[in-house]
Amino acid sequence: MSLLTVGSVAFDALETPFGKTDKIIGGAATYITLAASYFTQQNNLVAVVGGDFPKEMIGLLEEHGVDTKGLEIVQEGKTFFWSGKYHEDMNTRDTLITELNVMEHFDPIIPDSYQGTEFLMLGNTVPATQKVVIERLAKRPKLIMLDTMNLWMNIALDDLKSVLKLVDLLTINDEEARLLSGEYSLRKAAKKIMAMGPKTLIIKKGEHGALLFQEDRIFFAPALPLEEVFDPTGAGDSFAGGFIGYLAATNDISFDNMKRAIIYGSAMASFCVEKFGTERLVNLSKEEINARVQEFVKLASFEIQ
Ligand code: AMP
């Protein structure tokens, strides 16, 4: 089944306890499409970059089977730029700089060949843009998943609430779930957020795994305890890409299949954090992914007499 991803394609500058990077390639949609490329062949991208974005990176996405027809290049504009600094625990970070640049007034054009997509992943970007994408699809996808962040809750809450009414699944982290709902208990937060629109909710808890909520059901997926976490940037997006890529590949959106998908998503996130930026995600094999998924199965399975 085909997947359409919309979101930021970016330059990132990162600071972690292990070192600093100059501008490297990042962006939500970059991580999502790369992670999804290991699962689905029809991997379409709608995003915007400036004339400063390297052609080789677009080539790299294409080598991974990502269709970049929908990637607009504004020659005279600058690519979205984000800079973040991680705390010692690597679980929390501060945003230092957000320059929307070409993303601010992006008018997402959906190529005709992307119409009819069964799966839509609205990666982190301006909520009004996420909404326009839904409105521009002639047929409603089988599953619309949305990711967002605290920035939009703070500066574009009304737009965010308006797009939330239209989506099936929302993925956010625990801090964002608390901010959006005003509830500390994640169970209470989940109830309130699901009442805003999405029938399914994933709350990511960094190195402590992720919770999947749907109606009265809850599933917990652990994160793999790694000896070294080098750079957590993109973990949430790799998680989303693995999750929705697996759903698209299996064409099954049942709760049971979402449980499997969350493990594939967690496996992709665990690879992502092993190196800076997209470095680890661009060089994976199916065998490595399957072996990692088996580690998750062993980690969380037990028997009770
Ligand atoms: P994650 O670590 O999965 O939360 O995502 C990190 C990626 O999100 C980075 O590569 C950033 O370029 C991108 N990002 C950060 N802030 C924003 C924003 N306000 N809008 C869109 N993308 C963003």
- Across residues 286-297, what is the average pLDDT? 96
> In sequence order, what are the beta bridge partners of 267?
none
Write out pLDDT tens, residues 83-134.
999 998 888 899 999 999 999 999 999 999 999 999 999 999 999 999 999 9
pLDDT band at 305 (very low <50, low <70, confident <90, very high): confident
Write out pLDDT tens, residues 182-196.
999 999 999 999 999
Euclidean distance between CA atoms 213 and 81, whole angstroms = 33
Q: Three-state SS across 13-63? A: EEEECCEECCCEEECHHHHHHHHHCCCCCCEEEEEEEECCCCHHHHHHHHH
- Across residues 55-61, what is the average pLDDT? 96
Predicted local confidence at residue 89, as pLDDT: 84
Distance 302 CA to ligand 1 centre (A): 36
Euclidean distance between CA atoms 32 and 202, whole angstroms = 16
Write out pLDDT tens, residues 240-279.
999 999 999 999 999 999 999 999 999 999 999 999 999 9
Predicted local confidence at residue 19, as pLDDT: 85
Euclidean distance between CA atoms 176 and 164, whole angstroms = 14
- Across residues 150-166, what is the average pLDDT? 97
Q: Tell me how far apart the terminal alpha carbons of the chain are, to the nearest angstrom.
A: 41
Q: Are 291 and 272 in contact (CB under 8 A)?
A: no
Euclidean distance between CA atoms 194 and 86, whole angstroms = 30
Q: Could you identify the atom of ligand 1 that is nearest to the CA of residue 81? A: 12
Order of all β-strands in the sheet with 210-214: 66-74, 43-50, 3-6, 119-122, 143-147, 169-173, 200-204, 210-214, 217-221
Q: Are 266 and 209 in contact (CB under 8 A)?
A: yes
pLDDT at 57 over 90: yes
pLDDT band at 9 (very low <50, low <70, confident <90, very high): very high
Q: Whose CA is nearest to atom 20 of ligand 1?
A: 125
Predicted local confidence at residue 228, as pLDDT: 86
pLDDT band at 222 (very low <50, low <70, confident <90, very high): very high
Q: Whose CA is nearest to atom 14 of ligand 1?
A: 27
Distance 27 CA to ligand 1 centre (A): 5
Length, in residues, of the chain: 305
- Across residues 197-223, what is the average pLDDT? 96
Q: Are 52 and 45 in contact (CB under 8 A)?
A: no
Euclidean distance between CA atoms 116 and 2, whole angstroms = 8
Residues near ligand 1 (Cβ within 6 A): 8, 10, 12, 26-28, 82, 98, 124-125, 149, 151, 233-237
Q: Could you identify the atom of ligand 1 that is nearest to the CA of residue 152? A: 19
